[in-house]
Amino acid sequence: MGDMESPDTTAPRQSGIRALLPDKAFVISRKGQLLIAEVALSFICFICFVASTAAAFVTAPLVEFLLAFFLLFAYSSKFNERFKGFHWPLMDFLRCVSASVIFFIISIISVSRYTDAASKAAGVFGFVATIVFALDFYAIFNDLANFLKQGDTTEQPTTEEDSNSDSD
């Protein structure tokens, strides 16, 4: 039993529906707030597209809503720490980049081609979602860049002979 880790008995265990709610520390963090905004805006866009004549775009907000909701659940329940099969920050980065591009494109189309109020509302909320997803992928990119900079401890010394090899 030496290889088995004992569960943390100092942390209070939540039961029932409270176990499904996000941790308060995660909710007030930057990542938690961005994910909650992504879930809410994707759901609002989904509802607006369902009620509009631009119903062909209903799939993209639904998929982004489900992905953002899954990551909100995974990060808040520490599922990502228990399941090491994926590189979570990279997966989250790719999700945010693709969502930002997709929301931007469908928002432009829904605002410019459709005249009903629900399509216009979906487009406006889609533009706001584009900004939120872009902020999230910018934050993830900065975190990944800082992580890679910290991991690069083998600095190569530069010599003047290497940089001025063509001087003669």
Q: What are 59-78's pLDDT values in tens digits?
A: 999 999 999 999 888 888 88
**Per-range mean pLDDT, top range of 8-17, 80-89, 95-104:** 95-104
The closest of 88, 39, 30 to 65, measured between CA atoms, is 39
Domain boundaries, the chain: 23-150
Cα distance between residue 62 and residue 29, in whole Å: 25
- Note the pTM of the prediction, 2 decimals: 0.74
Instruction: Look at residue 90 in the predicted model and tell me its pLDDT.
Output: 84
User: Would you say 26 and 75 are in contact if contact means Cβ atoms under 8 Å apart?
Assistant: yes
